[in-house]
């Protein structure tokens, strides 16, 4: 998948360098065009006057280098999705080596001021060693805490030595970085600070939806069919098994449609489960990732967003703020969601239709109530208006840009506390 605005091997103009244009490098083991947090950070830096390069993963159809909305993206390897721990380690190591070599090579001409490293893995921060040795500042962005994330994916890691190794690499990475941020206050306080980091060590740039992209949509007419939607990574822990089981329990499924959009490890199993439960005429699976800017268009005819996150005993799920929930809210779509620490922190009890995680019967009941009385959705849409003011990326963007200026040492923004830069 490529951008319509592409260019191959476009170097930064020597004239711009001579004029002192500050440059930022981002390292992210992700597909740039479909990762909202990386896109938001890159475009915020660009808006603030930085020149921005990103080293990310490559899809089969992509060029090795392209310009995406002004951001230069280097695509270096394919993504692995699977269940092999050793293969994950190998792919991370390969990406680490490529990022280390490329960041060193690019630094010779770009002279990056800041290297923003998006985890996972945390240790990717060390790929910025050469730029750091020559004065660049390293910003570590903990999207997901690795020990908890891999503990939920590989259940026997909970007491395994691998967990201790993951904790060690996280601590070393935080120590190596000049500043560390994460995606929400509950994740900071409930996970990172709880395991020993000082509160001032970890800043928060909240993972909110870009309010310039996700703007309120007109309520589409139902015409007798209520359309529900889930978009995001296709993983079992995102509650998709529960969702299919719930749809199979709905009394009158002909009055509803469910659209599932995304790709991931659970895709094949999900497709088989939809067939097995006989709901393939109700659930449509769009089994691919779409560029961020296309998502609102894909949701424009939908009425309700679905956030059936499977929490169980997972720490990372309990402290996750699903971005899809924020995006639905910004679009004006009422949501059916589970409760966890992060959702309770940002959303009031009457601002979503809540059900207990993993309870397919309760989810089916909520879906049935909406299908039988779609007029209630208008009340929820009105409640969403003040929430959007609380969940604006525009405000977080200002904090992020200020942090870049601090790290880059630009005039009055330069701040150092104890040899470290803080948010």
Respond yes or no on whether the N-terminal peptide bond of residue 118 is cis (omega within 30° of 0). Answer: no
CA-angle at 354, arms to 348 and 355, nearest 5°? 150
Looking at residue 189, the DSSP 8-state letter turns out to be I
d(CA 209, CA 27): 21
In the chain, % of residues over pLDDT 70: 90
CA–CA separation, 369 and 222 (whole Å): 15
Residue 88 has pLDDT above 90, yes or no: no
C-beta of residue 55 within 8 angstroms of C-beta of residue 74: yes
Say what the pLDDT of residue 312 is.
Answer: 86
Each residue's pLDDT tens digit, 291-311: 999 999 999 999 999 999 999
Rounded Cα gap, residues 291 and 38, in angstroms: 12
Domains of the chain listed by start with CATH number? 14-208+393-413 (3.40.50.2000), 226-390 (3.40.50.2000)
Positive or negative, the CA dihedral 410, 192, 116, 233 is negative
* Mean pLDDT score across all residues of the chain: 89
pLDDT tens string 192-211? 999 999 999 999 999 999 99
Q: What's residue 410's pLDDT?
A: 66
Residues 236, 276: Cα–Cα separation, whole Å = 16
**Can you tell me whether residue 214 is helix, strand or coil?**
coil
Measured distance CA(388)–CA(379) in Å, rounded: 15
C-alpha–C-alpha distance, residues 264 and 408, integer Å: 37
Residue 324 scores a pLDDT above 50: yes
Q: How many CA atoms lie within 13 A of 361 on its CB side?
A: 0
Residue range 222-233, pLDDT digits in tens:
999 999 999 999
Q: What are the tens digits of pLDDT across the range 97-130?
A: 999 999 999 999 999 999 999 999 999 999 999 9
What pLDDT score does 158 carry? 53
- Residue 61's pLDDT band (cuts 50, 70, 90): confident
Question: What band does 412 get if pLDDT is binned at 50, 70 and 90?
Answer: very low
Average pLDDT on 375-403 reads 92
Tokens encoding 61 = 């159809």
- Please report the pLDDT score of residue 213 as a whole number: 94
Q: What is the DSSP letter of 224?
A: T
The token pair at 367 is 């879906």
The candidate with the shortest Cα–Cα distance to 239, out of 305, 290, 332, 191, is 305
What pLDDT is stored for residue 423 in this prediction? 53
Q: What is the pLDDT of residue 418?
A: 32
Between 100 and 388, whose confidence is greater? Answer: 100
Which residues, in sequence order, are bridge partners of residue 336? 306, 353
Does 20 have pLDDT greater than 80?
Answer: no
Return the percentage of the chain with pLDDT > 90, whole number. 76
What pLDDT is stored for residue 119 in this prediction?
Answer: 95
Q: Give whichever of 126-140, 156-170, 305-319 has the largest mean pLDDT.
A: 126-140
Q: Among 34-38, 78-82, 380-384, 413-417, which is the least confidently predicted range?
A: 413-417
- Please say if the pLDDT value at position 152 is more than 90: no
Q: Is 387 helix (H, G, I), strand (E, B) or coil?
A: helix
**In this predicted structure, what is the pLDDT of residue 156?**
62
Q: How confident is the model at residue 160 (pLDDT cuts 50, 70, 90)?
A: confident
Residue 422 has pLDDT above 90, yes or no: no
Map tokens 């989810």 to a residue: 363
Q: Would you say residue 385 has pLDDT above 70? A: yes
Please report the pLDDT score of residue 252 as a whole number: 85
Coil, helix or strand at residue 6: coil
> pTM of the entire structure?
0.86
Contacts of 42 (CB under 8 A, 6+ apart): 24, 26, 32, 52, 54, 71
The answer on pLDDT for 411 being more than 60 is no
pLDDT value at residue 86 = 79
Q: Are 59 and 31 in contact (CB under 8 A)?
A: yes
Please write the tens of the pLDDT for every residue from 237-293: 999 999 999 999 998 899 999 999 999 989 999 999 999 999 999 999 999 999 999
Q: Count CA within 13 A, CB hemisphere, residue 11.
A: 11
Cross-strand partners of 73 = 54, 66
Are 182 and 204 in contact, with CB atoms under 8 Å apart? yes
Q: Select from 94, 57, 62 the least CA-distant residue to 78.
A: 57
Helix (H, G, I), strand (E, B) or coil at 143: coil
pLDDT at 2 over 60: no
């Amino acid at each position: 998948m490529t951008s319509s605005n592409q260019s191959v091997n476009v170097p930064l103009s020597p004239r711009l360098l001579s004029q002192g244009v500050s440059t930022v490098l981002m390292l992210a083991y992700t597909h740039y065009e479909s990762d909202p947090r990386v896109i938001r950070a890159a475009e915020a830096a660009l808006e603030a006057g930085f020149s921005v390069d990103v080293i990310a993963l490559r899809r089969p159809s992509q060029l090795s280098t392209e310009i995406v909305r002004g951001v230069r993206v280097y695509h270096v390897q394919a993504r692995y999705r699977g269940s092999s721990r050793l293969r994950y380690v190998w792919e991370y190591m390969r990406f680490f080596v490529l990022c280390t070599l490329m960041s060193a090579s690019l630094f010779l001409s770009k002279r990056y001021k800041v290297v923003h490293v998006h985890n996972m893995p945390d240790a990717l921060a060390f790929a910025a060693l050469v730029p750091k040795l020559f004065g660049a500042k390293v910003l570590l962005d903990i999207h997901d805490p690795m020990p908890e994330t891999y503990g939920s994916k590989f259940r026997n890691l909970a007491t395994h030595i691998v967990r201790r190794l993951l904790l060690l690499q996280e601590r070393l990475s935080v120590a190596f970085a000049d500043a560390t941020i994460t995606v929400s206050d509950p994740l900071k306080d409930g996970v990172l600070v709880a395991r020993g980091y000082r509160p001032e060590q970890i800043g928060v740039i909240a993972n909110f939806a870009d309010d310039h992209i996700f703007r309120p949509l007109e309520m589409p007419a139902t015409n007798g069919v209520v359309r529900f939607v889930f978009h995001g990574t296709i993983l079992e822990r995102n509650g998709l098994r529960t969702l299919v089981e719930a749809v199979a329990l709905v009394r009158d499924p002909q009055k509803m449609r469910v659209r599932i959009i995304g790709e991931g490890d659970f895709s094949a199993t999900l497709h088989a489960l939809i067939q097995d439960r006989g709901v393939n005429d109700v659930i449509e699976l769009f089994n691919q990732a779409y560029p961020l800017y296309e998502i609102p268009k894909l949701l424009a005819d939908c009425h309700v967003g679905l956030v059936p996150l499977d929490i169980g005993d997972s720490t990372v799920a309990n402290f996750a703020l699903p971005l899809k929930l924020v995006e639905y809210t910004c679009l004006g779509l009422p949501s059916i969601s589970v409760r966890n620490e992060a959702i309770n922190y940002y959303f009031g009890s009457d601002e979503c239709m809540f059900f207990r995680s993993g309870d397919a019967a309760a989810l089916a009941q909520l879906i049935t109530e909406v299908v039988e009385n779609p007029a209630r959705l208008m009340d929820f849409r009105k409640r969403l208006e003040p929430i959007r003011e609380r969940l604006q990326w525009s405000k977080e963007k200002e904090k992020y840009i200020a942090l870049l200026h601090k790290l880059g040492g630009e005039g009055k923004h330069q701040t150092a506390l104890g040899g470290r830069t803080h948010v």
